[in-house]
Amino acid sequence: MRPVRPPEEVEELKQKILDVALDLIVSEGFDALTMRRLGKSLGMTAPNLYNYYRGKDEIYITLMIQGFNKLRKHLIDVAEAENDPVSRGKAIMRGYIDFGFNHSQHYELMFSSHGPKAQEFKGTEIEELSEQEFALSMEVAKFAETCIQLVLDKVGLETTEEQRRTMLIELWSLLHGMVSLHLTGNTYYLTDKPVETYEHILDLLLERFIDRHIALGQ
């Protein structure tokens, strides 16, 4: 009879499984992830993997939860370091960029991969886990929206929830574009100092964003 692994060794192995799965999904796509292939990469049998995860879907959702937890913590940390709403808004934008640069695999999994969405797991054995992941992602979005609201309140701009959501999507699209261009290396075709360029853009982005919406009256 094989000895039982101590809890810390089990957690270490589960994380190793996640790390290998993340690398496989990001490099080849979600469809390339199978328990058989994952087991081969880890020197384990596919049946043995099921002792730790119920299947590739649970692995995928667990990775998403890890990513959104990391992003949420990072954004909260950088926001709490600032008192002024505008400074906090800038810090959050920088925080998002930093997360994308420093956690590129999780970022690509969360925002650039074509994996299944939470609603696709309804009625499955991991529905509850997928709902947890969706709630966490919405918590991050709501936090960013609240920070936008505080900035708008400071400049005296009244908006509806729909308008704030539109603003959030607009800013998110700009930030995602910067992260994506950086991760693919395309920015280097135009400048040999991309990080300094991003900093310059971020310094101006929020003020121009606010000024434009004030001019539009929304």
Give the count of beta carbons closer than 10 Å to the beta carbon of residue 119. 10
Tell me which residue has tokens 């499955």.
Answer: 124
55-68 per-position pLDDT tens digit: 999 999 999 999 99
CATH 1.10.10.60 domain position(s) in the chain:
1-53
- Where b means 16+ CB within 10 Å and e means fewer, 132-161 reads bbbebbeebeebbeebbbebbeeeebebee
Distances (CA, A) of 177 to 70, 185, 209: 20, 12, 16
Question: Considering all CA atoms of the chain, what is the largest pairwise distance in Å, rounded to the nearest integer?
Answer: 74
Average pLDDT, the chain: 92
CATH class of 1-53: mainly alpha
Banded pLDDT at 211 (limits 50, 70, 90): confident
As annotated, the residues of the chain forming the CATH 1.10.357.10 domain(s) are 57-216
Q: What is the CB-side half-sphere exposure of residue 15 using CA atoms within 13 A?
A: 7
The predicted structure's pLDDT at residue 143: 95
Res. 168 pLDDT band, cuts 50 70 90: very high
**Choices 3.20.20.70, 1.10.357.10, 3.30.390.50, 3.10.20.30: CATH for 57-216:** 1.10.357.10
